[in-house]
Amino acid sequence: MAAGRDSGAADTPTMRQYLEFKQQVPDAILLYRMGDFYELFFEDAIRAAEILELTLTSRNKNDPDPIPMAGMPHHALEPYLLRLVEAGCKVAIVDQIEDPAETKARGDKLVARDLVRVVTPAVPWSPDAVDARERCWLAGVAVEGRGGGRLGIALLDVSTGELRVTEVEDAEAAARELAGHAPRELVLHPAVADLAPLAALARGLSTTVPAPAAFDREVAEQRLCEVLHVADLLGYGAAELGPALCAAGALVAYVRDTARVDLSHVTRLDIYAVTGRMVIDPATRRNLEILRPLWGTGRKGTLLGLLDRTATAMGGRLLRDWLSAPLVEVPAIQARLDAVEALQEPSLRASVRARLRLVADLERLGSKVAQGTASARELVALRGSLEALPGLAALVDPLPALAPARCADPLPEIAADIGHWLVDEPPIALTEGGMIRSGVHAELDEVLDLARQGKGAIARMEARERQRTGIQSLKVKHNKVFGYFLEVTQANFDRVPDDWMRKQTLANAERYITPELKDFEEKVLGADERSKALEYVLFTELRQRVAAQVARLQAAARGVAWLDVVASLAEVAATSRYVRPVVDAGDRLEIMAGRHPVVESMPMDEPFVPNDLVLDEGRRLAILTGPNMAGKSTVMRQAALIVLMAQCGSFVPAAHAHVGVADRIFVRVGASDDLAHGRSTFMVEMSETALILNQATRRSLVLLDEIGRGTSTYDGLAIAWAVAEAMHDQVGARTIFATHYHELVSLSEDKEHVSNLHVAVSEWGEQIIFLRRLEEGGASQSYGIQCARLAGMPAAVVARARELLAELERRPRHGPPTRQLGLFAPAPKQAPAPPPGPSPVEAALSAVNPDELTPKAALELVYRLKSLER
Ligand code: ADP
Ligand code: MG
C-alpha cells in the first residue's frame, strides 16, 4: 500500500512512528492519537471516512503527494468504534502514553505512544457493547500435525470469560459445531482455513489466519497455564487433548497479546464432548427457526423467543446455549425435566422468579471487576445481587431436583465488604468522591471533616461580612478559575469595604477576594483533592479484593443461570399447557394432541388443531400428503420441535408425548418452498439431502418437506421416490416425508415400514375447507385449483384451469407407478390403457351429496358434469 513509501509527507518522525504501529496490525484500521483527536491516514482514512461519514482531508496539502487523512474527537471514540466494528473492521487504537510536557522535558519532539487495544467483532471495547442476552464467541480451529487429523475447537466469550474446547473428527463436524455457537469471529489454522465447510462458515465473518506457530502445542499450554494461574493443565483433564489446546492457545495469543485485553476473568477451561449433544446441522437450525426467524430479524417467531422468560441476562444466554445443543443422554435430560417439574409448584416458581429478578448479570460484572473496569455503581449492583442469593438458596436447597442451582457459596463476605465501604448510590465518576461511606476509614473521615470545616468557616465568614457591610445580597461563590470569591451586585458597590481586593468585574456585579477567604480556600480545596484521591484508592483496593474472588463469583453465576433457565421453562410450561414428555433410549416417537409451540402462540383466525403422530417400528417412514396450505409443514415441524424441546429438558405442547432420544434431527425444505430465502437452489437442496442420506442413523429424526420440487415433475418424482426408498431400505431413520407427489403413496404397498398419512380437508361444493387433521392414508387429490381459487385467482383463469385439467385427465398419461410397471418404465406411447378407477364424471358425482345441494349448485353441477363428459 501507499504507506510503504518513505519520502515526502510520510517522512516525518510522526509518520514514521505511525507506520511502525501500522506494520504491527496491517489488517486493522489504525486510530492514531494526536492531541484531542484520533487521526486516520492513507487507506484507513478513506475507508473510515466512508463508513463513519467523516470529512476526508489530507496531511501536508502542498506536498505533491498528500496523505489522505480523517479524524475524530477523542471523546467520541466509543460510538465510532462501534460503527467500525459493526462494519466488520478491526480497529487498533494508538494512544499517547505521556503528557506532551514530559516529551519536551526530555528534550524530545515525538510524544511516546503505544498500541493500547485492538477492537474486533468478538473482542469488543467493553462487555457492554454486546447485547446482554447475546453471546460473543470468538472461535478458533486448529488441526493435529500438518492437517488430516482431528480438529480442535476453542470458543472464548470475552464478555463473560468462558473458555471451552472440544475436538471433532473432520471439518464438516467442526463447521457444524461452530455454527451452533454462531461465533462473531474466527481464528483459523492455515491448514484448515481452505477446507470447504470452514471456508463457507468464514464467509461474511471477520476471520484471521495466523502463522502456524501461533498454534504451537507447547506454547499453547504455557499460555493457558499463565491465564489460568496453574502449573499444568492436568487438573482440567486436558492430558488427552491435542489440537483443542492449540486452538485455545491461539485464541489467548489473539486476545491477550494482539488485542491486548486482560484475561484475568478467564478462570476455567471447560472441556466438553460433542458426543453428549444432539447434532443439528445449520440448515435444520434455520428451518426450525430455533434462534432466528427464517425471515426478518429479532426473536419473534423463534423457539428462543417463545421459551425465554428468563429474569437475568445470564439465564437468557444459557437458554440460548441449551437450545443450540440439546442433550442425548437420558439421565441428563431427566435431571432437567425433574427441575422443571419441581418448579411447576406455582408459589415456589413465583418466589424463585421474583428473587432472580434481583440478580444482575454476575458474569459480565465479574468480567469487569476482574479487568479493573467495574464502576462503584456496578460493585453496588454486585452486592445487591449477592445479597439475593441466600434467599434463593433457602428456596432451592431443600429440593433435590434443583441441586445444580445450589449455591454453596453466595460470597457473603464479598457482599459485606462492598456494603461496608460503598454508599448505596455512588456517583458515576470514580474520581469525584462521594463513593465511600463515612465512618469506615479514619483518615478519609478526617480529611472530609477538614473540607467540611473549611466550608463551615467560609459560611460563617459570609454571614459576618454581610452583617459588617450591610450588603444583604452578599454571597460567597466558587468557580474553577477563581476559586472562592465574594460577589456584590451593582446596587451595593459603594458599601464594599477597603480591605477587599477586586478580582473581576462583570456586567452588573463585582467579585472580590480577601486573604482570609484564600486561606480557607486552600484548606477546603486541598482537603477535597486529598479526599477524592483517597476515595479512589480505597475503591480500587476494594475492587481488587472482589477481583480475587472472581472464580467463585462465576461459579455462583452458573448456578443462578441454570436456575433461571429451568424456572423459565417451568413458567412457559405452566402458562402454555405443556406436559412432561416421557423420554427414553428407545426409538418410538408418540405425540398425542401435539401442537406447534410457535404457531399456536401467534394470533390466528382459526383455533390451532392438535394432532396425533406415531412413528415406531411399524412406521419408520410416513409419507405425508395433502393439498397446499393444509398444514403438512406445520405438523412436521411441530414433531421436530417437540423432540428438540424434550431433549433440552423442556415440557412439550401436547397432551402426551413419548420421545425416544434422537441423535440428530434433519429438516430439509424443498427448493421452491424456501425460495424467499434466496439461497435454496435445487443444487443446495440436493446436496443437503445427500448429506442426510450419508449421515442419518437409525436413531435420527428426518423430516423432508417437498424434496424434489425444484425440478421438472418426472425428475422430481424420481428423486423423491429414490430418496424415500433409500431412507427406508438403508438408513432406517424415523422419517416423515411431506410431498405433493401422490404417486409416493403407493410405496407403502411395497415397503414394510412405510405408511401413509394425510392432512384432511373437506369439500363444500367448489370450496375446500382445511380441517388441519392428520389422518391415516394418502390424500385423494391435490386440490390445486381450489387453492388457486381461494388465493383470489381471477374466476376466468380458474375456469380455464379446470378445463385444462379435465383435458389432461382425459389424455393418456402415467398412472401412479406400480410394482409391475416400475417407476422408471417409459411412458406408454400408444394404445393407452383405459384410466383405472372411476371416470371423471363418476368421480365428480360420487363427491356430491344431493341433500346438500342448493338449486344453484345443482345447476352448476350439471354444467360441470357436461364439461367432464368424454
Ligand atoms: P402445507 O405445508 O401443507 O402447505 P402449512 O403447514 O404451511 O401447510 O400450513 C399452512 C397454514 O395453515 C399455516 O401457516 C398455519 O397458519 C395453518 N395451520 C397449519 N396447521 C394448523 C393447525 N394444526 N391448526 C391451525 N392452523 C394450522
Ligand atoms: Mg409446506
Q: Which atom of ligand 1 is nearest to the CA of 607?
A: 25
CA distance 18 to 29: 12
Predicted confidence at residue 525, as pLDDT, reads: 84
Q: Where are the alpha helices (DSSP H) in 728-792?
A: 747-750, 784-790
CA distance 80 to 83: 5
3-state secondary structure of 152: strand
| Residue 630 Cα to ligand 2 middle (Å) | 8
| Residue 667 Cα to ligand 1 middle (Å) | 17
Q: Which atom of ligand 1 is nearest to the CA of 611?
A: 23
CB atoms within 10 A of CB 562: 21
Instruction: Determine the length of the chain.
Output: 870
Under 8 Å between Cβ of 353 and 391: no
Q: Which ligand is nearest to the CA of 629?
A: 1
Using alpha carbons, select from 10, 51, 53, 59 the residue that is nearest to residue 29.
Answer: 51
CA distance 649 to 581: 9
Predicted confidence at residue 105, as pLDDT, reads: 85
| Residue 700 Cα to ligand 2 middle (Å) | 21
Pocket residue to mutate for ligand 1, from 295, 611, 629, 758, most atoms within 8 A of Cβ: 629
CA distance 703 to 733: 10
Q: Where are the alpha helices (DSSP H) in 87-170?
A: 100-105
Using alpha carbons, select from 133, 455, 185 the residue that is nearest to residue 298.
Answer: 133
| Residue 769 Cα to ligand 1 middle (Å) | 12
Q: What nine digits make up the cell of 148? A: 488430516
Residues 6+ apart with CB under 8 A from 752: none
Predicted confidence at residue 6, as pLDDT, reads: 42
Under 8 Å between Cβ of 264 and 547: yes
Using alpha carbons, select from 839, 719, 752, 739 the residue that is nearest to residue 779.
Answer: 739
State CA 818 to chain mean position distance: 50
Q: What nine digits make up the cell of 743? A: 404417486
CB atoms within 10 A of CB 801: 15
For the chain, give me the number of helices (H) and strands (E)?
A: 29, 27
Q: Are strands 754-764 and 621-625 parallel, antiparallel or unpaired?
A: parallel
Q: Which ligand is nearest to the CA of 706?
A: 2
> Whose CA is closest to atom 23 on ligand 1?
609
Measured from CB, residues less than 6 Å from any atom of ligand 1 are 599, 606, 608-609, 626, 628-634, 772
3-state secondary structure of 449: helix
Q: Which ligand is nearest to the CA of 628?
A: 1
Which run of H or E residues covers position 96? strand 91-96
Burial of 694 (0-12, 13-18, 19+ CB in 10 A): exposed
Position 722: which residue type? A
Strand boundaries in 516-585, DSSP class E: 582-584
Predicted confidence at residue 816, as pLDDT, reads: 45
DSSP state of 613: E
CA distance 707 to 633: 12
Terminal-residue alpha carbon distance, the chain = 79
Q: Encode pLDDT of 748-772 as tens digits.
A: 888 888 989 999 888 777 677 888 9
Residues 6+ apart with CB under 8 A from 64: 8
Q: Encode pLDDT of 453-510 as tens digits.
A: 888 888 999 999 999 999 988 999 988 888 899 999 988 888 999 899 998 898 889 9
| Residue 399 Cα to ligand 2 middle (Å) | 45
Q: Are strands 734-738 and 621-625 parallel, antiparallel or unpaired?
A: parallel
pTM for this predicted structure: 0.83
Burial of 441 (0-12, 13-18, 19+ CB in 10 A): middle
Q: Are strands 270-271 and 162-168 parallel, antiparallel or unpaired?
A: parallel
Position 641: which residue type? L
Q: Where are the alpha helices (DSSP H) in 309-441?
A: 313-324, 330-342, 346-356, 362-371, 376-396, 412-421
Under 8 Å between Cβ of 670 and 707: yes
Give the domains, in start order, of the chain with CATH numbers: 13-119 (3.40.1170.10), 130-276 (3.30.420.110), 308-411+550-575 (1.10.1420.10), 443-528 (1.10.1420.10), 582-778 (3.40.50.300), 840-870 (no CATH)
CA distance 431 to 435: 9
Exposure string for 524-534, b = 16+ CB within 10 A, e = fewer:
beebbebbbeb
Strand order in the sheet with 701-705: 279-280, 664-669, 701-705, 734-738, 621-625, 754-764, 767-776
Pocket residue to mutate for ligand 1, from 634, 672, 737, most atoms within 8 A of Cβ: 634
Pocket residue to mutate for ligand 1, from 599, 632, 758, 768, most atoms within 8 A of Cβ: 599
> Whose CA is closest to atom 10 on ligand 1?
629
Angle of the 442-469 helix axis to the 515-547 helix axis, nearest 10? 160
Q: Which atom of ligand 1 is nearest to the CA of 595?
A: 23
Sign of CA dihedral 117, 121, 127, 129: positive
Position 241: which residue type? L
Position 490: which residue type? Q
Under 8 Å between Cβ of 152 and 170: no
Which run of H or E residues covers position 153? strand 151-157
Under 8 Å between Cβ of 307 and 569: yes
Q: Which atom of ligand 1 is nearest to the CA of 626?
A: 3
Residue 245 main-chain phi, psi, to 5 deg: -65, -40
| Residue 778 Cα to ligand 1 middle (Å) | 18
Q: What nine digits make up the cell of 361? A: 448479570
Sign of CA dihedral 765, 766, 772, 774: positive
Under 8 Å between Cβ of 249 and 212: no
Positions in the chain short of pLDDT 50: 1-7, 674-678, 680, 813-835
Under 8 Å between Cβ of 650 and 573: yes
> Whose CA is closest to atom 5 on ligand 1?
631
Position 501: which residue type? M
CA distance 828 to 830: 6
Predicted confidence at residue 870, as pLDDT, reads: 58
State CA 112 to chain mean position distance: 40
| Residue 273 Cα to ligand 2 middle (Å) | 36
| Residue 457 Cα to ligand 2 middle (Å) | 84
